[in-house]
Amino acid sequence: MTIDIDNHGFVDFTNVYKFLIDRYTPDDDSCPAVLFVDDTETMIYASEEGDEVIILNRESPDLRRDLRNIIRKTPIKLKRTEEEQLPWNSCLNYAAWYYEAYNICQYLKIEMPALWFYKNRLHGINLDNVCYSSEKSGYRVTDMFIRSDNISHPDTVLKMLLHELRHTWQHKYHNEWFEDYSFNRGEKDQDEKYCLQKAEVDADAFAYWTMEQNGMRFSYDPGSEQHMLIKYRMAEILEEEIMPLSLCMIKKNS
């Protein structure tokens, strides 16, 4: 099972996730994870504990039809060695997270990318929270990866989901913010410059602003240049947004 990010064209997965959240509710923890993969047939698997994952060929001309058909079939039971190789977190309430992501996308007026809530490693590689875009996709976001191994604190996962989906909004409406964009390479001096970039400040500010509007608090370094830029951007967002985004009770994931 491979994901060739650089060769992906842009696909709007909104209808697929809309089908799932119409079928399941945030209170329903039986919703399967959905993974969009290259060069594969549509399949549904189940772990030994009964948690399900659906594999869809992202190049299919009718993904919603494929999902509707496969969800009726009996899942193939996975052996433990095979299950450990799959990039999905069986501890998550996927119905709630898809519902949350769908609401955020509707609010930001963006299409939904392929969402990957993964645990620890993906395809044997350590990844951070990141959204991918490519020249083939017209620099629209094609895939979004969210680290979900720290599920004891779902607010952390929520913050990163808001942050990365705001990057998706930026790519659609302010792609000029990524001119001369510097990626985080893990070096201290570079990391400080990375955090002060307009795209990163805006993504953090949107996440913190949205969480505060919903009665949540998230700690960040007070008094720093980054903190001051975020607070200033939060004030701007408060003036720009017509109505705050109302989040669902994502804490039910914990």
Q: Check: CB of residue 67 under 8 Å from CB of residue 16.
A: yes
- What DSSP character marks residue 215? T
For 116, phi then psi, to 5°, come to -120, 105
- CA 46 vs. chain centroid, Å, equals 22
Q: Where are the domains of the chain?
A: 5-160, 174-253
Of the candidates 111, 112, 54, which has an alpha carbon nearest to the alpha carbon of residue 88?
Answer: 54
Most confident of 74-78, 164-168, 238-242: 164-168
The position carrying tokens 């302010």 is 174
Q: Which residues pair with 36 in a beta bridge?
A: 56
Q: Residue 223 burial by CB count (10 A; 0-12/13-18/19+): exposed, middle or buried? A: exposed
- The mean pLDDT of the chain is 82
Whether the Cβ atoms of residue 63 and residue 16 lie closer than 8 Å to each other: yes
Half-sphere exposure of 86 toward its Cβ, with a 13 Å CA cutoff? 22
- What was the pLDDT predicted at 178? 87
* 227 within 8 A of 220, measured Cβ to Cβ: yes
Residue 196 in contact with residue 203, Cβ under 8 Å?
Answer: no
Query: What does the pLDDT look like over 45-73, one tens digit per residue?
Result: 888 778 888 989 888 899 999 999 999 89
222 by Cβ neighbours in 10 Å (0-12 / 13-18 / 19+) ranks as exposed
Report the predicted TM-score, pTM, of the whole model to 2 decimal places. Answer: 0.87
Q: Give the residue with greater pLDDT, 103 vs 78.
A: 103
Q: From start to end of the chain, where are the E strands?
A: 33-37, 43-46, 52-57, 76-77, 114-118, 121-122, 125-126, 130-133, 141-147
Q: For residues 117-127, give the mean pLDDT.
A: 64
Query: What pLDDT band is residue 15 in, cutting at 50, 70 and 90?
Result: very high
> Does residue 102 have a pLDDT over 90?
yes
Residues present in the chain in total: 254
For residue 76, list its beta bridge partners: 45
Report the amino acid identity of residue 140.
R
Residue 84 has pLDDT above 70, yes or no: no
Residue 54 near residue 70, CB atoms below 8 Å: yes
Is the confidence at residue 39, as pLDDT, over 60? yes
Please compute Rg for the chain using Cα positions: 18
More confident residue, 77 or 191: 77
